[in-house]
Chains A and B, each alone.
Chain A
């Protein structure tokens, strides 16, 4: 059974804190993605990675960075959290763009 896990379901952080969101997949997928989902805006791609140590900016990379040191793990980093980063964050992985994207359960981040 395929699995994408995210480190936390709910997080509450203060403005200015550094935040780490972790994602792990057990399918040996090449591609991993970080999205955020906001009401009325749908899913928006933040960053993706097509290989270890490789990353590409998505549509809304500002205020975020990522790290992929191992194939199965993709981390999203908020260097200095701000209230407008309060959102649902979804991680996904796939073998290729036409293959199924498997999503994690999401992390609901609230920045106070």
Chain B
């Protein structure tokens, strides 16, 4: 079983829709959770960063962590064509080293005008 599971999609939604992207994980020791956005032919950029459980909101983006279910989500409200990209979740146990950082495979999102 992979440490982090993420549906690769692709996911297509109309402009203005609410998008829900999800990851599940198996290691209950994960404490730090991240979402990256990667446009075609570009490197990933950090979108959201959360520690432990709860919600975090930044503009149209909301990151949600449910540690009891080992489930994290990224919600995008009022989706725009410029949101079309691949979204990767990532998580880590602690701050001791890069080997603790585990990535999902990414979900490709297309927002149709």
Q: Which residues of A contact B (CB under 8 A)?
A: 4, 9, 31, 33, 40-45, 48, 50, 56, 58-59, 90-92, 96-98, 100-106, 108
Contacts and interface: CB of A to CB of B under 8 A. Distances in A.
Given A43-B88, A103-B43, A48 B98 contact: yes
Interface stretch (B11-19, B54-62, B72-80, B89-97): B89-97
Nearest to A103: B43
B95 A43 contact: no
Given A40-B105, A42-B106, A56 B98 contact: yes
B91 to A, nearest CB: 11
A17 B40 CA distance: 28
Given A40-B8, A43-B88, A103 B99 contact: no
25 contacts: A9-B41, A31-B98, A42-B103, A42-B105, A42-B106, A43-B88, A43-B103, A44-B103, A45-B99, A48-B97, A50-B97, A56-B97, A58-B98, A59-B99, A90-B44, A92-B43, A97-B32, A97-B96, A97-B98, A97-B101, A98-B51, A98-B92, A100-B49, A103-B43, A105-B41
Contacts of B88: 42-43
B104 to A, nearest CB: 6
A104 B42 CA distance: 8
- In the A-B complex, the 5 residue pairs with the closest CB atoms: A103-B43, A42-B105, A48-B98, A43-B103, A42-B103
A92 B90 CA distance: 14
Q: Is the interface of A mostly helix, strand, loop or mixed?
A: strand
Interface residues of B, number: 26
Contacts of A41: 105
B66 interface: no
The CB with the most chain A CB atoms within 10 A, among B41, B90, B98, B100, is that of: B98
A58 B90 CA distance: 16
Given A42-B6, A48-B97, A106-B42, 5 more contacts: A42-B88, A43-B44, A59-B99, A97-B98, A103-B45
